[in-house]
């Protein structure tokens, strides 16, 4: 391998490893999450400005979907208990976005370089989905329960109320809603700190 090619390969490996952020140490606390990952908060604010989505709603949904793991995927299914036959769906990444839905997002937003394993892109995707849910089914962007039901069942499934045949999903949606409410209350206690510039914190914090 030529030195220049080796250097490029090494740079790409470092870059890609830097994109994989470990899950937050305190995932039940919005303040801790955003203080640990300030760039995540910037992504959440960008999503709020672009799609009108509050910073706590997609975070609560994302935690339910992936536990903030960048490479999360549905468990492998096995035939006869030991022969792998694939995963239940092609959902992947922070937002557990399915390939078809992600492709629709890319087509509509033009974000062709996006990746489901990139937090900024996943947050923007969720903002787009929540925005569309509000437009299509009239669900408030602040309504975590029904936003999550749309996210899980799809816009058509939500209209048909397919979730009523899934008691377990109703319970999960309530957990997402409860977490979103806790996140919202926590956010009120640390918003000022999160919005302060890093320079001010460096010299006067």
DSSP conformation class of 83: E
Neighbouring residues of 80: CB distance < 8 A, sequence distance ≥ 6: none
pLDDT tens track for 152-187: 999 999 999 999 999 999 999 999 999 999 999 999
Q: How far apart are CA 62 and CA 94, in angstroms?
A: 6
Q: For 119, list phi and psi in degrees, rounded to 5.
A: -60, -45
pTM of the model: 0.82
Cβ–Cβ < 8 Å for 95, 116: yes
Q: Is the pLDDT of residue 9 over 80?
A: no
pLDDT tens track for 33-92: 999 999 999 999 999 999 999 999 999 999 999 999 998 765 444 344 444 434 355 588
């Amino acid at each position: 391998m030529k030195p220049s090619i080796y250097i490029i390969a090494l740079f790409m490996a470092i870059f890609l490893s830097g994109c994989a952020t470990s899950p937050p140490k305190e995932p039940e606390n919005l303040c801790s999450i955003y203080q640990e990952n300030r760039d995540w908060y910037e992504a959440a604010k960008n999503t709020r400005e672009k799609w009108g989505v509050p910073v706590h709603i997609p975070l609560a949904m994302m935690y339910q979907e992936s536990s903030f793991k960048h490479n999360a995927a549905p468990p492998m299914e096995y035939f006869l208990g030991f022969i792998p036959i694939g995963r239940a769906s092609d959902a992947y990444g922070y937002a557990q976005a399915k390939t078809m839905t992600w492709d629709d997002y890319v087509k509509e937003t033009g974000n062709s370089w996006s990746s489901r394993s990139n937090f900024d892109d996943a947050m923007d995707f969720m903002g787009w989905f929540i925005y569309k849910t509000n437009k299509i089914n009239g669900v408030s962007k602040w309504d975590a329960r029904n936003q999550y039901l749309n996210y899980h069942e799809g816009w058509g499934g939500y209209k048909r109320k397919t979730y009523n045949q899934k008691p377990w999903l109703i319970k999960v949606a309530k957990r997402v809603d409860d977490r979103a409410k806790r996140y919202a209350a926590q956010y009120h206690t640390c918003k000022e700190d999160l919005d302060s510039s890093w320079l001010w914190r460096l010299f006067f914090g």
